[in-house]
Amino acid sequence: MPNQDAAPAPDPGRRMSRRSLLQGAATAGAAGLAATAMGAAVSQAAASRRPDLARGSGPGQSAAGPIMVHVRDARSGDIELFAGTSQTRIHDQDLAARITRALNGRSN
Amino acid sequence: MSSHREAPEISKDPVADSTDLYAFVSPDRKDSVTLIANYVPLQLPAGGPNFYEFGDDVLYQIHIDNDGDGRPEISYQFRFRTELADPDTFLYNTGPIESLRSPNWNRRQFYDVTVVHGRAPRTLGTRLACPPCNIGPLSTPARDYPGIAAAAVHDLGGGVRVFAGQRAEAFYVDLGSIFDLGDLRPFQNLHTTFNIPGLKLAAAPGVNATSNLNVHSIAIQVPISSLTRKGHPTIGVWTTASRQRVTLWDADKGENVNSGPFRQVSRLGNPLFNEVLVPLGKKDQWNSLPPADDKRFAEYVTHPELAGLLPVLYPGVFPHLAGLDAAKKPRADLEAILLTGIPAGIVPGFTNFTGTVLADMLRLNTSIPPTPASQASIYGLLGGDAAGFPNGRRVTDDVVAIELRAIAGVTYALVDKSFKPDAAAGQLTDGLTPASVHATPLGHFPYLGIPYSGYDEPS
């Protein structure tokens, strides 16, 4: 049954490279939550999967929307990635460490 | 209120806050059902210069369950988009708005409608125009406004029509008294008043707290045959609003950026369910869940806090209800009305039972024809009118009185013939009627009245 409010299963096709994520995180420079507008291709793919939800977005959000990175726990590498109307969750200690170093370098 | 600002979190997010839900067989088109979900509560009509609107970043939905599992078989989705013609003026409009295409109208909203029925979403309409807010005689001339709003009723084919925009608030309730520790003005001479020195309350008429306020309505009219399963005329209806999981304030652009999947932040089925039955500590959680999960809230229905309060607040007025409370018998009547529908054999000739799954949905037996206005009872089923609440909900139904009376024990006699309701239970009211609403409902889709103008209702 259709329930667009229900949590979707992680979509392997939605995974992004660690390098692109790190670049995005460093650009945004937010502690714990980083955003960048680099995700055009990814967001368009997300939009094509769920056109009902991606279409008609409000001001400041286009089909080529941002990628959001939420480092839930830097120590364990628990990271959530958001783009368009999709999300995925990865565990990558190395990526989390690099994001943390990038943030620390920026604040220094 | 029915569901205005009913939970701590959603009270901070008006554009996603559902206020009322209506579901009824269309009186002027009896082969169709009209579903109306109201959002953006308590709008002062003089809300300029940034007049009220839907949230572009909110996913609004109206859901229909037609197999009794508390999950949607059919969902209508509404997504809005605001367009600004001239960003270099502070004005909503630069002259009178005489039509939906008026060049004087600077900030307007459009929306897409999608139906999700099965796996593939299907777009029913795109870039559908909302009407303007009703501002005043110069901006939205009274002679033009009804026509402009009528033009914002869109026929989507297949017998489906939609409207989304500002309307007059049709719900009536004496909030000022009710949330002052359960005071009902017509009966406040009987209230305990907590023995506050010098406080003496005389019985008084109700005061409509939502008088002359507006809301934003999403209304859709759909053929009954496209919502029901053959041989199963009862549907369950609810509305939800959802937001994307991540919101980031883009300080450079001065706007929010959103990302991630949508998650439900607001829900409404039966009026007053979350507002009056669910305790404060669980209201936000309730708003995030589907009706199918309502078993976890059933205890607040079968042992409602308000039923225990009434005999305390009104000493000596509800002795039979006090006895029922003391016996700790589960309120099977309320469970049927709100969570399963009423099984056959309880009310002669009537049922809107959908099965044993406990789910707060507004249940409508679509096989029951609308009652002519001259014969309709604002007390719905309690008034012998099976076309009214809790069989769906019409615009003028007095849901406050109906639910007060039910909770006070009037309906318990339906499931326990030995129970005699208190005399006062059948008279409970906050003292209001549809006449407390100044805007006249329309006799046709979208049924809710013309919104009040800011010029006419400035405060």
Confirm whether B110 is domain-assigned.
Answer: yes
The pLDDT of residue B1 is: 56
Furthest C-alpha separation in chain B: 72
Hey, are the CB atoms on A85 and B260 less than 8 Å from each other?
yes
Hey, are the CB atoms on B72 and A52 less than 8 Å from each other?
no
Confirm whether B24 is domain-assigned.
Answer: yes
Hey, are the CB atoms on B75 and A85 less than 8 Å from each other?
no
Segment B366-380, tens digit of pLDDT: 999 999 999 999 999
* Averaged pLDDT for residues B157-183: 97
Judged against a pLDDT cut of 50, whether residue A66 lies above it is answered with yes
The pLDDT of residue B111 is: 98
C-alpha span between A7 and A62 (Å, rounded): 23
Confirm whether A4 is domain-assigned.
Answer: no
Furthest C-alpha separation in chain A: 51
Q: How far is B263 from chain A (nearest CA, A)?
A: 5
Q: What is the DSSP string of B133-195?
A: P---TTTS-TTTHHHHHHHT-EEEETTEEEEEEEEE------HHHHTTTS--GGGGGGS-GGG
Interface mutation target, options A4, A33, A67, A70, chain B, most CBs of B under 10 Å: A4
Judged against a pLDDT cut of 90, whether residue B160 lies above it is answered with yes
Confirm whether A41 is domain-assigned.
Answer: yes
Judged against a pLDDT cut of 80, whether residue B146 lies above it is answered with yes
C-alpha span between B395 and B305 (Å, rounded): 27
Please answer whether residues A30 and B288 qualify as being in contact, where contact means their C-beta atoms are separated by less than 8 angstroms.
no
C-alpha span between B321 and B312 (Å, rounded): 11
* Same-domain status, B219 and B336: no
Judged against a pLDDT cut of 90, whether residue B389 lies above it is answered with yes
Specify the 3-state DSSP secondary structure of B405.
helix
Residue B312 sits in which domain range? 295-435
* Averaged pLDDT for residues B59-83: 98
* Same-domain status, B115 and B129: yes
Confirm whether B228 is domain-assigned.
Answer: yes
* Same-domain status, B282 and B348: no
The pLDDT of residue B459 is: 86
Segment B407-422, tens digit of pLDDT: 999 999 999 999 999 9
Confirm whether A6 is domain-assigned.
Answer: no
**CB-count exposure of residue B311 (10 Å: 0-12, 13-18, 19+):** buried
- Report the residue count for chain B: 459
* Same-domain status, B356 and B424: yes
Confirm whether A3 is domain-assigned.
Answer: no
Confirm whether B313 is domain-assigned.
Answer: yes
Confirm whether B300 is domain-assigned.
Answer: yes
Residue A67 sits in which domain range? 14-107
Question: Based on the structure, what is the number of domains in chain B?
Answer: 2
* Same-domain status, B390 and B316: yes
Scanning every residue of chain B, which has its alpha carbon at the shortest distance from the alpha carbon of A30? B248
Instruction: Give the predicted TM-score (pTM) of the model.
Output: 0.89
The pLDDT of residue A106 is: 61
* Averaged pLDDT for residues A50-68: 48
Please answer whether residues B297 and B366 qualify as being in contact, where contact means their C-beta atoms are separated by less than 8 angstroms.
no
C-alpha span between B262 and B116 (Å, rounded): 15
Q: Where are the beta strands (DSSP E) in B251-304?
A: 255-268
* Same-domain status, B323 and B410: yes
* Averaged pLDDT for residues B235-258: 96
Confirm whether A8 is domain-assigned.
Answer: no
Q: How far is A25 from chain B (nearest CA, A)?
A: 14
Q: In chain B, which residues have their Cβ closer than 8 Å to the Cβ of A57? A: 56-57, 79, 81, 258
Q: How far is A94 from chain B (nearest CA, A)?
A: 23
Confirm whether B31 is domain-assigned.
Answer: yes
Confirm whether B250 is domain-assigned.
Answer: yes
pLDDT > 90: percent of chain A = 34
Q: In chain A, which residues have their Cβ closer than 8 Å to the Cβ of B256? A: 60
Angle, CA B24 vertex, CA B23 and CA B27 arms, to 5°: 150
The pLDDT of residue A32 is: 38
Segment B428-444, tens digit of pLDDT: 999 999 999 999 999 99
Please give the mean pLDDT across all residues of chain B. 97
Segment B101-134, tens digit of pLDDT: 999 999 999 999 999 998 789 999 999 999 999 9
Nearest-CB residue to B72 (from A3, A8, A56): A3
Please answer whether residues B67 and B73 qualify as being in contact, where contact means their C-beta atoms are separated by less than 8 angstroms.
yes
* Same-domain status, B305 and B273: no
Q: In chain B, which residues have their Cβ closer than 8 Å to the Cβ of A38? A: none
Confirm whether A34 is domain-assigned.
Answer: yes
* Same-domain status, B317 and B368: yes
Which residues of A lie inside 8 Å of B (Cβ-Cβ)?
A: 1-8, 30, 33, 35, 51-53, 55-61, 65-68, 70, 82-87
* Same-domain status, B253 and B153: yes
CB contact burial B46-75 (16+ within 10 A = b; e otherwise)? bbbeebbbbbbbbbbbbbbbbebbbbbbbb
* Same-domain status, B16 and B101: yes
In sequence order, the 6+-apart residues with CB closer than 8 A to the CB of B374 are none
Q: How confident is the model at residue B184 (pLDDT cuts 50, 70, 90)?
A: very high
* Same-domain status, B162 and B85: yes
Question: Based on the structure, what is the number of domains in chain A?
Answer: 1
* Same-domain status, B99 and B212: yes
Confirm whether A2 is domain-assigned.
Answer: no
Nearest-CB residue to B250 (from A57, A60, A70): A60
Confirm whether B198 is domain-assigned.
Answer: no
Segment B393-402, tens digit of pLDDT: 999 999 999 9
